[in-house]
Chains A and B, each alone.
Chain A
Amino acid sequence: MQAIVRPTYRSWCAWQRNRDVYLKQWKTNGLAFFFEPVLLYIIMGLGMGKVIQDIEGMSYREFIGPGLVAGYVMQIAVMENGWGTYFRMAVRRTFDAMIVTPVSIEDVITGEILWGATRGALTGFVVLLIIAIAGDVNSPMALLVIPAAFLTGLVFAGASVIYTSQAPSSDFIGPFFSIIIYPMFFIAGVFFPIGELPRALEVFAWCLPLTWSVDIMRHLMEGEVNVTMLWGTIGLIALSTFFYAVSLVLMRRRLIR
Chain B
Amino acid sequence: MSPVIHAERLVKRYGGFTAVDGVDFAVEPQECFGILGPNGAGKSSTIRMISCVSPVTSGRLLVEGRDVMLEARAIKATLGVVPQEDNLDEEISVIKNLQVYARYFDIPSAEALRRATEALALMELTEKRRAAIDTLSGGMKRRLLIARAMLNKPRIIILDEPTTGLDPHARHLVWQRLRQLRGQGATMVLTTHYMDEAANLCDRIAVMDQGRILDTGTPQQLIERHAGKEVVEVRVAPWEKEHGMTALNGKARRTVDAGDALLLVGAEGPGLEASLAGGKAEVLRRRPNLEDVFLLITGRGLK
CB distance from A61 to the nearest CB of B (A): 37
Establish whether residues B73 and A104, one from each chain, have CB atoms under 8 Å apart when the complex forms.
Answer: yes
A93 and B53 in contact, given A101-B76, A102-B77 (Cβ under 8 angstroms)? no
Whether, in the assembled complex, B124 has its beta carbon less than 8 Å from a beta carbon of chain A, the answer is no
Establish whether residues A102 and B100, one from each chain, have CB atoms under 8 Å apart when the complex forms.
Answer: no
With the chains together, A99 CA to B51 CA distance in Å? 9
Query: For window 69-107 of chain A, which residues contact chain B by CB distance below 8 Å?
Result: 92-94, 96-104
CB distance from A25 to the nearest CB of B (A): 6
Residues of B within 8 A of A24 (CB): 91-92, 96
Establish whether residues A257 and B104, one from each chain, have CB atoms under 8 Å apart when the complex forms.
Answer: no
Establish whether residues A21 and B103, one from each chain, have CB atoms under 8 Å apart when the complex forms.
Answer: no
Residue of B nearest to A98 (CB): B104
We find that the number of chain B residues with CB closer than 8 angstroms to chain A is 30
A96 and B83 in contact, given A1-B55, A21-B89, A25-B91 (Cβ under 8 angstroms)? yes
Establish whether residues A94 and B91, one from each chain, have CB atoms under 8 Å apart when the complex forms.
Answer: no
Whether, in the assembled complex, A13 has its beta carbon less than 8 Å from a beta carbon of chain B, the answer is yes
Establish whether residues B92 and A100, one from each chain, have CB atoms under 8 Å apart when the complex forms.
Answer: no
Determine the main DSSP class of B at the interface with A. loop
Of the residues B14, B52, B88, contact of A1 by C-beta under 8 Å: B52
Residues of A within 8 A of B73 (CB): 102, 104
Flag B91-120 by CB within 8 Å of A: 1 or 0 each: 110001000110111100000000000000
With the chains together, A92 CA to B83 CA distance in Å? 12
Establish whether residues B85 and A1, one from each chain, have CB atoms under 8 Å apart when the complex forms.
Answer: no
Of the residues A5, A93, A94, A257, contact of B54 by C-beta under 8 Å: A257
Of the residues A5, A93, A101, A257, contact of B101 by C-beta under 8 Å: A101
User: Beyond A20-B100, A100-B83, A102-B104: 5 further Cβ-contacts under 8 Å?
Assistant: A99-B53, A101-B76, A101-B77, A101-B101, A102-B76
- Supply 14 A–B pairs (Cβ within 8 Å), ascending by A: A1-B69, A16-B100, A24-B91, A92-B87, A92-B90, A94-B87, A96-B53, A96-B87, A97-B88, A100-B83, A101-B76, A102-B76, A102-B106, A256-B54
Please report A residues at the B interface, Cβ cutoff 8 Å.
Answer: 1-2, 5, 10, 13, 16-17, 20-21, 24-25, 92-94, 96-104, 256-257
Please report B residues at the A interface, Cβ cutoff 8 Å.
Answer: 14, 51-55, 69-70, 72-73, 76-77, 79, 81, 83, 85, 87-92, 96, 100-101, 103-106, 152
